[in-house]
Amino acid sequence: MIASRVLAAIAPRLAAVLLGAACIIWTVIPPRHSGLAGVALVLSIIGVTAGALRLALADVPQPEDQFFPSAPIRAWLTFLAALRALPWEEIAVVALLVLEVQHPARPWHTAALGFGLVAYLLAVHIGESGAPAGGLLRRQARLLLAGTCLLALGAGFAMLPTAGPGAGSALLRVLAAAAVVAAAALVLPGRE
């Protein structure tokens, strides 16, 4: 009984950590040795690790105001405050995207990364809010399915041979992909 409760409490947090680690590994392979890639990799690792720590320490209460706390307690309070104040997941996501664009174009790889990042953010949300994962995913299933289709469309669109040389054609492709996304968002039914 207690074991099942503990497992139910830590499972989403563990899933978030694993998904974050998977996204990092997925993005970093094959390794790039440029300076920006290294910085992005370090930032993404810090972001995922700190996010995992924040989730793990989410249940630790903020102690009441104390007069003249000792140095270790002051350091612990500062650490907790920094952990809870900064948007670690956003930092990790941006760093991972920067790391991804350091590689040559690989559309299906990027699409899989996008899927992994959305899954990571959902797992983080479930872990920190305690929301029932089954109900949440059931409600968003249609949207997630549509999003996955759009991911696949975007990846497939990127794999089409270029219509012509020059920057204009590339911009057109970006605009076309954005139009597909906007159209899907507008016509999607069932906004309950």
- One-letter amino acid of 112: A
From residue 94, alpha-carbon distances to 2, 14, 55, 177, 190 in Å are 38, 22, 19, 21, 31
Site for other proteins in 41-100 (CB under 8 A): 87, 89-90, 93-94, 97-98, 100
Contact between 1 and other proteins by CB under 8 A: the answer reads: no
Contact between 8 and other proteins by CB under 8 A: the answer reads: no
| Pair 133, 12: CB distance under 8 Å | yes
With CB under 8 A as the contact rule, the residue among 130, 141, 161, 164 that binds other proteins is 130
CA quadruple 168, 105, 120, 57: dihedral, nearest 10 = -100
CB of 66 to other proteins, least distance (A): 13
Q: What are the phi and psi torsion angles at 51 (to 5°)?
A: -60, -40
| 59 DSSP assignment | T
Binding site for other proteins (CB under 8 A): 87, 89-90, 93-94, 97-98, 100-101, 105, 107, 110-111, 113-115, 117-118, 121-122, 124-125, 128-132, 136, 139-140, 143-144, 146-148, 150-155, 157-158, 167, 170-171, 173-174, 176-178, 180-182, 184-186, 188, 191-192
